[in-house]
Amino acid sequence: MNYPFPSKFRTVRLYAAILLTLMLSQWLHAIPLRVLAWNDEIAACKLMIDTSKGPAPIEGMHPSKRTKEYQVTSGEKPVTIQALDKIDKDGKPLASAVIIPKGTKQALLLLLPDAKADTGLRLFVLEDDVANFPWGGIRFINACGRKLAFVYEKKTIILPVSWTPVLAKPGGTNRNMETQLFLFEQPDRPIYSAVWEQQQDVRTLIFIVPGTDPRLGPVAMKMISEDRRVEEATEGTADSSRSARGR
């Protein structure tokens, strides 16, 4: 004889199933991810990425521009990048795992050269959400090996040697802005000085790396700017195309 579960046990099972579903949905949720190639050589690589809909080629890589968004699933199994031009002994593309920090809302995957890695790439993920990196902001990553100080309009920001970004938020209106960069131990001798055009619709990611030309100083800057107006226009065009295809 089959005995039915008492109603309270059925309720407990139902609550447990709902709780498990919620936990899985939080753990296995899609995150928008864009890719930034460090240089032209990496931009020319043929790569595939695991997306929530399956493997997809990474298109439009450029050293000064983010790619389109790819929806990836963050969970127990990491997202992987496959290098189609690097094959193992079994004829399969070599792969590297993309480690996305917990809580990331908008991922920016930076592809760096790494001769020691099987794929030739070192993968580094930054939080790229506008709540952390707002429009009008300037974000620094100091990879030059020396502690620095950035000065703009009499405000000073210390830039430690770290791949953890440091954010400057000039705010205000669009304007020309005087900037200087110093070695931390030499606050009276700027190693860089320029007037920047500050725009509230533009955010700029700046990598500070060791300089390769002594005449230009001990450091160099790689700047990647993104314009909100261009992004909104691009999104509007994409939405119109999807609507047209849906008719």
pLDDT confidence tier of residue 246, bands split at 50, 70 and 90: low
More confident residue, 203 or 240: 203
Q: How far apart are CA 124 and CA 122, in angstroms?
A: 7
State pLDDT tens for residues 106-151: 999 999 999 999 999 999 999 999 999 999 999 999 999 999 999 9
Domains and CATH numbers, the chain: 29-127 (2.60.40), 138-231 (no CATH)
- What's residue 237's pLDDT? 60
Classify burial at 87, counting beta carbons within 10 Å of its beta carbon; exposed 0-12, middle 13-18, buried 19 or more: exposed
The answer to whether 218 touches 211, Cβ cutoff 8 Å, is yes
CB–CB of 220/204 below 8 Å? no
Place 185 in a pLDDT band, splitting at 50, 70 and 90: very high
pLDDT band for position 234 (cuts 50, 70, 90)? confident
